[in-house]
């Protein structure tokens, strides 16, 4: 039996060829060992031929090094890094739709103001607000908005960039 270790949060940054099927190749490395992906962001890289993937994971550290090496080995992967939180900036974007009556709107705006949210849609009964920042901030926002009726949330998942001279 392997030693028990607490689940940890890990973030991988993967630069891949911008081609059909590449996401499947990445996912297969996780799926074959039943390792769950917590968040996934895919978008164009700075060069048109590459895509950038940021994958958030919650799991044991054990085995992750192997996953990184197996990802790096894929023909369509240019590189794959696991970054320390200390060497990266990490951001997330969240949209929240919640019901708010007119008499409670001032209170809602105070919360939004505190977390530097941006109101994108306002009706007599509801609001859509955008927040950006670290994942923990998103969790706090949701905690504070609990007193209103949250209808939907959409989070992008984490995007990261390595600090200084480090390559992401």
Partner 1 sequence: MNLDGAQALLKTLNSLGIEYIFGYSGGAALPIFDALETTDTNLKFILSRHEQGATHMADGYARATGKPAAVLVTSGPGVGNTITGLMTAQMDSVPMILLSGQQVTWMLGKDAFQEADTFSISLPVVKHNYLVKNTNDIPRIAREAYHIATTGRPGPVLIDLPKDITQGEFTGSLDAEINLPGYHPEKAFNIDESKIDEAIELIKEAKRPLILAGQGAMIARADKELMEFAETLGCPVTSTLLGKGVFPETHELALGMLGMHGTAYANKAVVECDLIINIGSRFDDRILGKTEMFCRNAKKIHFDIDAAEINKMIEVDVAIIGDAKASLQAINKKIKPLETQEWLKHLNGYKKKYPLNYKKQGGLKMQQVIDEFYQLTEGKAIMSTDVGQHQMWAAQFYKNHQSFEWLSSGGAGTMGFGFPAAIGAAFACPDKIVACVVGDGGFQMTLCELATAAIHKLPIKILVLNNHYLGMVRQWQELFFDDRKSGVDLEGNPDFVKLAAAYGVKGFNIKRPVDVRKVLQQALDYNDGPVLINAECLKTDNVFPMIPAGAPLEEMLIERPKGQMAKPEGST
Of residues 60 and 134, the one with the C-beta less far from partner 1: 60
Which residues in this chain contact partner 1 in the complex, by CB under 8 A? 16-17, 20-21, 24-25, 28, 32, 49-50, 65-66, 69-70, 72-79
Instruction: Identify the residue whose tokens are 């940890």.
Output: 8
* Alpha-carbon span 129 to 38, nearest angstrom: 23
Residue 59 CB, nearest approach to partner 1 (Å): 17
Residue 31 CB, nearest approach to partner 1 (Å): 9
Of residues 62 and 113, the one with the C-beta less far from partner 1: 62
Residue 76 CB, nearest approach to partner 1 (Å): 6
Of residues 73 and 146, the one with the C-beta less far from partner 1: 73
Query: How many CB atoms within 10 Å of residue 110?
Result: 11
CA dihedral 160, 162, 167, 168 (to 10 degrees): -10
Of residues 18 and 156, the one with the C-beta less far from partner 1: 18
Residue 17 CB, nearest approach to partner 1 (Å): 6
Of residues 6 and 24, the one with the C-beta less far from partner 1: 24
**Lookup: tokens for 6:** 């607490």
The CA-atom distances, in angstroms, between 125 and each of 97, 98, 100, 122 are 11, 9, 5, 8
| DSSP 8-class letter at 104 | G
Which segments of 62-134 does DSSP mark as H helices, in order? 64-73, 105-114
Residue 81 CB, nearest approach to partner 1 (Å): 14
Which segments of 6-114 does DSSP mark as H helices, in order? 22-31, 64-73, 105-114
């Amino acid at each position: 039996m392997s030693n028990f270790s607490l689940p940890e949060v890990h973030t991988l940054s993967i630069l891949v060829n911008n081609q059909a099927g590449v996401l499947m190749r990445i996912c297969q490395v996780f799926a074959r060992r039943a390792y769950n992906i917590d968040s996934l962001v895919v978008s164009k890289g700075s060069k048109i031929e590459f895509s950038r993937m940021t994958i958030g994971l919650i799991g044991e550290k054990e085995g992750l090094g192997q996953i990184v090496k197996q990802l790096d080995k894929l023909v369509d992967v240019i590189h794959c890094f696991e970054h320390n939180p200390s060497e990266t900036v990490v951001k997330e974007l969240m949209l929240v739709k919640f019901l708010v009556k007119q008499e409670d709107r001032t209170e809602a705006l105070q919360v939004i103001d505190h977390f530097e949210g941006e109101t994108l849609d306002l009706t007599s009964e509801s609001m859509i607000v955008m927040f950006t920042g670290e994942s923990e901030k998103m969790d706090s926002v949701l905690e504070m908005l609990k007193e209103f009726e949250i209808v939907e949330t959409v989070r992008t998942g984490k995007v990261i960039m390595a600090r200084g001279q480090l390559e992401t």
